[in-house]
Structure 1
Amino acid sequence: MSSAVPPADAPAPPDTKESRFVFKVAIVATMGALAFGYDTGVISGALPFMSAPPLQGGLGLTPLTEGIVTSALVFGAAVGSLMAGTLSDRFGRRMTLIWLSLVFMIGALGTTLAPSVEVMVAMRFVLGLAVGGASSTVPVFIAEMAGPSRRARLVTQNELMIVTGQLIAYVLNAVLAHYANSPDVWRYMLAIAAVPALLLGVGMMFVPPSPRWLASKNRMDEARAVLQQIRSSDKQIETEMADMTKLNQIEHEQAGWSAVLGTPWIKKLLWLGIGLGFMAQFTGVNAFMYFTPIILQSTGLGTNAALTATIGNGVVAVIATFIGIWLIGKHGRRSMLMSGLTGVVVMQFALGAVLLWMPDGITRSYAALACILCFLLCMQMLIAPVYWLLMSELFPMHLRGVLTGTAVACQWIFNAIVALLFPLALAQFGSATFFLFAAINVGSLIFVALRLPETRGRSLEGLEKFLEKELTPRAKA
C-alpha cells in the first residue's frame, strides 16, 4: 500500500468570508466537544467524594462500583455514536446535534440529582449517549462544511474543545473541592455540564445544514444555497457541486450495510477505522484522564493535592492540542501518529519504572506526574487530533455517518474496557500494568506503519477516489 504524501496541489487558502463563517459554525458545533470533554474529565474529581458513605453525602462507591460508574458513560457513548451515525445520515448532522443537546441536559441533571448508585449508573449511561453521539457527529459536520485547505485545522478544533472541557473540569474540581464546604460538592461538579449542552442546542439553531448531506439526499438546490453562504469563489462552488453530483450518481445505486458488506474496499476502511480506535484507546490515555488522582494518591499525595496536580493534565493537553493543530497543517497523518506512538511507548515504560523502582516520597510523586504529562504531550499533540480528523475524512459520503458512528462506537467500547479494567489491573499487577500498555502500543505502531494510507491534501471527494484505488485488490498480471 502506498503511503506517499499526495502532490502539493491543495486549493489556495480560503477567503475571509469562508474563514469567518465556517469558523463560527465550527465554534458552535464544538460546544458538543466541550460538553464531551467536561463530562469525561469531571468524574476524576467527583469520584473521591462519591466514594464517601451516604450519611456523609456520597454514594458509598467501592473500587468495583467506581469502575462501573466511570465506564457506564463510556458504554453509553458506544451506543450513542452508533445510533447518531445512523440518525445523522437520515436526518442530517445539524438536527442530530440539536437532539443530542437535549440528551446532554437530561444526563447532566440526572447525574446531579442521582440518589443512589443505580440511578447514577443509569444517568451516566444517558449522558454517554450524548457524548458518543457528539463524538461521531461533530467532526463529520465540520469536515463537510470546511473547504479542503481548512478541513484539518477546523476538525482538530474539535479535539481542542474536548481537552479544554477536560481542563475546565479539572480546574473546577480543584476549586470546588478546596472552597465548597459541602458533602454534595460532587453534585455541583456534575451540574455544570448542562451549560455547554445548552449552548450547543441554541447555537445549532442558527447554522445551516451540511451541504454534502443535502447533496446525498439529492437536495442539490439547497446544497448549492449553503455553499453560497460558506464559499465566496464561484469556481469552488461549481467544483464541489460537480464532485457531489458525480458521486451521487455512483453511490445511490447501492447504500446501507449492503454497500459495506458487498464492497471490499469499504469493508477494509471500516476495519481500518476500528483498528485506529483500538490504537487511540489502548495508549491508555483515559486511564490517566479518569484515574490520575488515584495514581498520584498511590504515591503518597493527599486527595486535594492530587486533584490540584491533575490540572496539569488539562493544561498540557490544551497546549499540546494547539501545537498539534499547527503541526497537522504541515505534516502527514501517518508520520504524526507514528511519532506519537513512539513517545507513548517510551513514557509508559518510564512510568512503570518510576512506580516500580523509585522509593516512596515526594520525588516519586513528581516523577510519576512528569511521566504522565509527557505521555499526554505525545498523545494530545500527535495522536488524538489525527484520530478524530481521520474519522471525519476516511469514509465515503453516502455512508459517512453510519461508518463513522460504527468506528467511533468501537473506539468507545475500547475506552470502556480500559476504564473498567484499569483499576482492577492496577490493584492486581501494580506498575506492570504500564509495561503492558507499552507492549500493546508497539503493536499499534506496527499497525499504523503497515495499514494506514496518507490522506493529507485532498478534498473529501478526491480522497474517496484515492482510498478506493488504494484499497481495491489489484488483479494479478
Structure 2
Amino acid sequence: MSSTPSETTRQIRQLVERTPASGKKRRIGLLAIVACLGGFLFGYDTGVISGALPYMHMPLQAGGLELTSLEEGLIGGFLLAGCAVGAVLGGRLSDRFGRRHNIMILAALFFFGALAVAFAPNLPFMYVARFVLGLAVGGASTTVPVYLSESAPKEQRGMLVAVDQLMIVTGQLAAFAMNAVIAAVQGGPTAVVENDPSGTYESGASVSWDLLAGIAGVTVSDGNGFAWRWMLVVCSLPAIALWIGIRMMPESARWHVGRGELKEAIGALKRIRIEGKHDVVTEVAEMEENRRQEEKREKLSLKAGLRVPWLRSIIIFGGTFAILQQLTGVNTMMYYAPRVLMAAGFDSQASIILNVFTGVASVIGSAAGLLALRRFGRRQVLLVGQVILTLSLIAMTAIFLFGINPYIGLDGQVSADIPQFVPYLVVVVIVLFMLGMQSGPGPVMWVMLSEIFPNAIRGAANGFAVMILWITNMIVTVMFPVLMDGVGPVFTYALFAAINIFAVIYYYIRVPETRKFTLERIEWEFREAGGVIRLR
C-alpha cells in the first residue's frame, strides 16, 4: 500500500467505524492487575527461598537437605539460570505467538514448577525443579512489562509498568509474611537430638538447630525441617488465578499491527479504550505508519540489530542498565536477608520474622516509585533512589566494620556483649536500602526496558536485556554466601558500595528521559540520533 499518511488515517477511520470490539470491555486497570499476577508470582517464587533456606540447612533426618554454602547458592542459582533462559525464550515466543498467549503458558509453568519444587525428594531434583520454575519467572519478567507497555495509553504507561514492579515486591512481601507465619507456628529450625558427644543435650531433646549445628558429631532423629515445603507449595495458588484471568484479556494491539492484522488490533484496542477519551484512530494510525516504515527498511532481528550502530547502542545500554540494577545487591537482601541478620547477631527464627520488614519496605518503596513516576521523569526517580541505596550500602559496611566485627568471637558467633541496638541498625539499613531500590532503579529499569527498543524487536531485545539481568543475578546469588563465609560482610558490602557509586555517575551521564514520548516517537528519536541516547 503506497498511500500517504493522511490517506492511511482515513482508511483506518473507516475500518475503526466498521470494526466492533473483539470481546467484552475490560478496564486497563483490570488488565494490569491480571497480567501483574505474573509479577506477583515472580516475587513470591524468588522471595520465598529466604525463609526456606534455614530449614534446608538441617539434616535429612530432621526434614532438611543438609545444604553447604555452595549448595545454598546453587538453590538460587538454578532458578536464576532458568530465568535467563526463560527471558530469552519468553521474548522470542511473545514476538511470534503473542504476549497474552505467552502469559497463559507461563501460568502453567508457574503451577507445575512450584509443585515440583515443594515436593522435591533430593537436591538434584530440586535443582531441576528450580530451573523449570525459573523459566516461568524469566518469561514473566520479559513478557508482562511489554504486554503492559503496549496495552496502556501513553499517559498511563509508566505507572502501569511500575504496577508490575509493585506486584513483584508484593509477592515478595507475601512470601516473607508466609515464611514468618510458618516459622512462628512451627518454631525456628529445631531438631530432636539422637546423640550429643558434648553431653550438653539429652537424647530426645528438641533443640534449636542454631545451637546443634556448632556441635561436632551431633546426630538427630527428627525435626521440623519439612516446614520449607509448606512455604514453597503456596506458590502454586496464584498461578491458577493468572491462567484464568489472562484468558479474559485481549491480545496486544501493537503485536497485531506488527503482523499486519489491523482489524484484530482495532478490535483488541476497543476493548481497553474509553470511547470519547481515547482516539483509537490516531493510535492505530501511528502504529500502522511505524509498521510501514519498518517494512521499507532492512528486516530487523536481534542478531541483525547488533550490526546496526544505532540499535547496537540501545541494546548495549539496555544490557548495562540490567547489569547495574542487579549489582545493587538487591537480591542479596531478598534471598539472604535472614542470613545477613543472623550474621548481625539474631537467631534464625527472629531473622525470618524480621525479614517481613524487608518486604514491607519494598512495597512502600515500590508504591512511592509508582506515584513518583506519575509526577516526575524516569531519570529523576532513578537517580534519587540510586543515591539512597548507595548510601545505605556504605552504612552497612560501616556497621559491620565498627559495630559488629569487634564482637565476633573465635567461633565466628556474635558475642552477647554487643550493644543491643547495633543488630537493629542492620534492620534499619536494609529497610532504607529497599526503600531506595524499589522506589528508583527497581521500577525505572522495567519501565525503560519496555520503552527503548524498536517495535520490530521489542520482545527479543527486552528478553536479551532481561537475560543479562538474570545471569548477573545468578552470579551474585551464587557468590554471596561464598563471599560472606570467605571474606566476610565488610568486604562484601564495601564491594557493592563501590560498584553503586560508579552506577550513580553512569546513570547521570547516560540515562535518557522518555516520559513524555510515545513508543513510536522514542524509536524515531533514537534512530535519528544514531543511537545516541539524548532524550531529556
Of the two, which has the highest radius of gyration? 2
Aligned to 2:266: 224
Distance apart, 1:362 and its partner CA: 2.8
Q: 2:158 aligns with which of 145, 152, 157?
A: 152
Looking at structure 2, the residues matched to 262 and 180 of structure 1 have their Cα atoms a distance apart, in angstroms, of 57
Distance apart, 1:471 and its partner CA: 3.8
Aligned to 1:249: 292
Aligned to 1:427: 485
Looking at structure 1, the residues matched to 392 and 487 of structure 2 have their Cα atoms a distance apart, in angstroms, of 18
- 2:502 equivalent to 1:443: yes
Looking at structure 2, the residues matched to 126 and 227 of structure 1 have their Cα atoms a distance apart, in angstroms, of 33
Q: 2:257 aligns with which of 215, 227, 232?
A: 215
After the TM superposition, which of the residue ranges 219-228 and 459-468 deviates more from structure 2? 459-468
Distance apart, 1:198 and its partner CA: 1.2
- Report percent identity of matched pairs: 39
Query: Is the partner of 2:58 in helix, strand or coil?
Result: coil
Aligned to 1:134: 140
Aligned to 1:65: 71
Aligned to 1:458: 517
Distance apart, 1:50 and its partner CA: 0.9
Contact 1:299 1:361 in 2 (8 A): no
Looking at structure 1, the residues matched to 42 and 53 of structure 2 have their Cα atoms a distance apart, in angstroms, of 18
After the TM superposition, which of the residue ranges 20-29 and 359-368 deviates more from structure 2? 359-368
Looking at structure 1, the residues matched to 350 and 419 of structure 2 have their Cα atoms a distance apart, in angstroms, of 14
RMSD: 1.6
Q: Deviations over 1:258-297 (max 9, x none)?
A: 5412321111111111011111100000011111101111
Residue identity matched to 2:230? Y
Write the mapping of 1:85-164 to structure 2, written as runs, cut at 5 A.
Answer: 85-164=91-170
TM-score for both structures, normalised by structure 1: 0.93
Q: How many residues align?
A: 457
After the TM superposition, which of the residue ranges 244-253 and 108-117 deviates more from structure 2? 244-253
- 2:206 equivalent to 1:187: no
Aligned to 1:357: 402
- 2:239 equivalent to 1:197: yes
- 2:175 equivalent to 1:169: yes
Looking at structure 2, the residues matched to 333 and 129 of structure 1 have their Cα atoms a distance apart, in angstroms, of 29
C-alpha spacing 1:350/1:115, structure 2 compared with 1 (3 Å): same
Residue identity matched to 1:419? T
Aligned to 1:262: 307
Contact 2:322 2:465 in 1 (8 A): yes
Aligned to 1:293: 338
Aligned to 1:367: 425
Query: Is the partner of 1:393 in helix, strand or coil?
Result: coil
Aligned to 1:385: 443
| Bigger helix fraction | 1
User: Could you say which structure has the greater relative contact order, defined with CA pairs below 8 angstroms and 6 or more residues apart?
Assistant: 1
Q: Deviations over 1:84-138 (max 9, x none)?
A: 0000000000000101111111210100110101111110011000000000000
Contact 2:150 2:252 in 1 (8 A): yes
Contact 1:355 1:364 in 2 (8 A): no
Aligned to 1:467: 526
Gaps of 5+ in 2: 1-23, 188-223, 405-417
Distance apart, 1:180 and its partner CA: 3.2
Aligned to 1:407: 465
Looking at structure 2, the residues matched to 20 and 96 of structure 1 have their Cα atoms a distance apart, in angstroms, of 19
Distance apart, 1:351 and its partner CA: 0.5
Looking at structure 1, the residues matched to 80 and 116 of structure 2 have their Cα atoms a distance apart, in angstroms, of 16
Distance apart, 1:473 and its partner CA: 6.5
After the TM superposition, which of the residue ranges 59-68 and 224-233 deviates more from structure 2? 224-233
Distance apart, 1:448 and its partner CA: 1.3
Looking at structure 2, the residues matched to 439 and 261 of structure 1 have their Cα atoms a distance apart, in angstroms, of 30
Query: Is the partner of 2:450 in helix, strand or coil?
Result: helix
Query: Is the partner of 1:454 in helix, strand or coil?
Result: coil
Structure 1 segments, 4+ long, off by >4 Å, are: none
Q: 1:41 aligns with which of 47, 52, 55?
A: 47
